[in-house]
Structure 1
Amino acid sequence: MNFKIIITFFIILGFISCKSTAELKAPKNVILLISDGTGLSQISSAFYYKESIPNYTRFQNIGLINTSSSEQDVTDSAAGATAFACGVKTYNGAIGVDANKKNVKNIVEIVSAKNIKTGVIATSAITHATPASFYAHVFNRGQEEDIALHLTKSEIDFFAGGGLNYFTQRKDGQNLLNTLKNNQFTINTDTLSDFSKIESTQKVAFLLAEKEMPKIEDGRGDFLSKATELGIEFLNKDNSGFFLMSEGSQIDWGGHNNDAPYLISELIDFDNVIGKVLDFAEKDGNTLVVVTSDHETGGFTLAAKKKKREDGSEYSDYSEIGPTFSTGGHSATLIPVFAYGPGSEKFIGVYENNEIFEKILNVTNWDK
């Protein structure tokens, strides 16, 4: 009798397990937010310098990724973003190609074939390494005129950022704005427009600076938040599902410059974007949000501030922070991953950066 009871228990448990697995909800939309050059210390700065509670506190599912590229322990943004966009480890400088320089399908190409809308946003030039990895295939990230040409022929439905010169001031004399128009893009080179003005258009391009967008310190304002909200509204207009990548590009540049105020102001701007995206995802209920970075830059540390006594000797004042840097380049520190929404539990743990790609395709069933 006891044996029969045990067998019955496991059969019932099996049915419950199968039912629970079947009822797991697949997200319809994915928003990938990338804070270029951001490690844990950069994120921590928001907890000390932002005047309100950071939006990072709203996540419960958190993991860590190893960012090393195929040939180097310390990655660059091109290899790092290609891992996210294409699911492969590659060499530093590579955009959308593997370690053997062969083109690899990116997530935009994969999901566009399924009638899923796609978009990319950046505070850098839209041809810069991170956004480029989601639509281009070149051997070297420095080929920005070639990357711009790839964008005109890509499946992207919405993009916003800088980089106008790579479309209009080209060595080959082409004006790629004409190519974009021929490929059904509505183009604005002055400002972000209201949704009502682009709602009926098929594709939208905003190229709002000759190269990179201005710094927050130089008056960029809330471009990244507004562009991301506009991108969500545009890509979601027919409710067919969408993938959007939005990058806070210049956190990285503050790290390279060892400029703490620059870095922190850009990080706080990115945290504001997280808030807007989570507000949408909470109301929508069908959106997976993944927040991470390609690598850390600057060896940034929230150290105790160094002060001097009257005799000239130094001491550390543990009541005040004095941000410091250990390098002008990148580091190999593990990078946090924050996830919210359906499938977000799959992003818990410690894993390789290219697994972000695999996890997104798996939880959405876009790999089917």
Structure 2
Amino acid sequence: MKIFLSLFLVVLVSCKTKNTEIIVKNETPKNVILLIADGTGLSQVSAAFYFKETTPNYERFKHIGLIKTSSSRQDITDSAAGATAFASGVKTYNGAIGVANDSTEVSTMIEIAAQNKIKSGVVATSSIVHATPASFYAHAFKRSYYEEIAADLVASEVDFFAGGGIKFFNKRADGLDLIENLEAKKFNIDTTALGNFNNIKDYNKVGYLLAADGMPKVLEGRGDYLTKATDLGIQFLNKDKQNFFLMVEGSQVDWGGHDNDADYLISELIDFDDAVGKALDFAEKDGNTLVVVTADHETGGFTLASTIKKRENGTSYTDYSEITPTFSTGGHSATLIPVFAYGPGAAEFSGIYENTEIFHKIVALTGWRQ
């Protein structure tokens, strides 16, 4: 009997060891898609559940966490410090792009990806030199150094980009035409419209600069640019079955919050959710892709409040059957921000932690070396 029990325990331990090895192996993503809805807190996410005509893609996630967003010097972060936390894993001061609190340069996710022979891309509905996309490839003491940031994009190892901001490349104070510099680096640059994959698949690098500065609003006819750009970026970066990192920003959820414009905010949030769906569709088929969805901070103090109505006698009452989006500020707030994760290693993103952990968790899971 003792011999039987001993053999049983050996087999049991062996099974557990094998299962553990399988789990560890499967928890190493080959690709990472990080989607950032600038200015989006839990109320903004909730808006998709009330105002989107179809089921939000946010509902497809099973692993959800919360991040603390304060920058190194301020309780309330801006997009530059928030994105630098994601891109480099350090806390820095508001306005800083790819530099630490002492203004020294820090390695960005795209630089680290290149060192590990990982393809990379950035997509935004702002200009491509705006704070969030810039933090993944550039280094600047101030986020407003747009022309210097554009030069950093040319010097970077990014393989695919799409957004606005052409004026920072070809209508510069120094008279340089950085479009020519990008083309010299084997980029195919399009300034008219997104192409299709068959038209770009043979190029080494591809860039889209589709507006002088930020892209138009959804409400002004931008259409499904963000979803298409996300899909195109995934196809291009994955064309040779190479590992890749892609950052996608829904930039203008933040702008709707700053404007205290609920229609603007909600339309941009729903548009972003559609892009999330495209990333999840790819990840589900691929099986080796980690999708992380979060935001740098909340903007506007946005709330899905009940509607205040008047009775015939002039007194007010609260109608809980009707929602009126409201705002408490024209700036950012310090609320915790949700994180949604799907794919290999997704469980690591549960819990409450600093925003810098987004970077550290991705690097640890992928094994990319700095």
- TM class by shorter chain equals over 0.9
What CA distance in whole angstroms lies between the structure 2 residues aligned with 1:15 and 1:143?
A: 58
The one-letter amino acid of 2:126's match is S
Task: Give me the whole-angstrom Cα distance separating, in 2, the residues matched to 1:66 and 1:220.
Answer: 32
Q: 208, 217, 240: which is aligned to 1:238? A: 240
Quote the Cα distance in structure 2 between the aligned partners of 1:255 and 1:123. 15
1:92 corresponds to 2:94: yes
Residues in 2 aligned to 1:16 and 1:166: alpha-carbon distance in whole angstroms: 59
Match of 1:329 in 2: 331
Q: Distance between the aligned counterparts of 1:5 and 1:331, measured in 2?
A: 60
Shift of 1:107: 1.1
SS in 2 for 1:265: helix
Whole-angstrom CA distance in 2 between matches of 1:174 and 1:153: 14
Aligned-partner Cα distance in 2 for 1:12–1:102: 54
Q: In the alignment, is the contact (CA less than 8 A) between 2:150 and 2:168 conserved in 1?
A: yes
Shift in Å, 1:13: 6.0
| 3-state SS of 1:336 partner | strand
- Match for residue 361 of structure 1? 363
Separation in structure 1 between the aligned mates of residue 244 and residue 148 of structure 2, nearest angstrom = 26
CA distance in 1, matches of 2:106, 2:7: 48
1:225 to 227, 246, 251: 227
Residue pairs, 1:1-368, within 5 angstroms: 9=9, 15-23=14-22, 24=24, 25=26, 26-367=28-369
Q: Distance in 2 between matches of 1:360 and 1:353?
A: 12
Deviations 1:195-216 (A, max 9, x none): 1111110100100000000000
TM-score, normalization by structure 1: 0.96
1:183 Cα deviation after fit? 1.0
Shift of 1:12: 6.0
Cα shift readout 1:123-171 (whole Å, capped 9, x = no counterpart): 0000000000000000000101100000011000000000001101111
Q: Is the 8 A contact 2:116 2:369 kept in 1?
A: no
Question: For residues 356 and 7 of structure 2, what CA distance do their matches in structure 1 show?
Answer: 42
Identity over the aligned pairs, expressed in percent? 63
Q: Number of aligned pairs?
A: 367
Gaps of 5+ in 1: none
Unaligned residue ranges in structure 2 (runs of 5+): none
User: What is the CA–CA distance in structure 2 between the aligned matches of 1:140 and 1:6, rounded to whole Å?
Assistant: 66
CA-atom RMSD in angstroms = 1.7
Q: How much has 1:311 moved relative to structure 2? A: 2.9
The 1:359/1:13 distance shift into structure 2, 3 A limit, reads: farther
2:129–2:146 contact (8 Å) kept in structure 1 = yes
**Equivalent AA in structure 2 for residue 211 of structure 1:** D
1:277 Cα deviation after fit: 1.0
Shift in Å, 1:316 = 1.3
Which amino acid is the alignment partner of residue 320 of structure 1? Answer: E
Instruction: Give the 3-state SS of the residue equivalent to 2:32 in structure 1.
Output: strand
1:27 to partner: Cα distance: 1.1
Contact in 1 for aligned 2:73/2:92 (Cα 8 Å): yes
> Partner amino acid for 2:329?
T
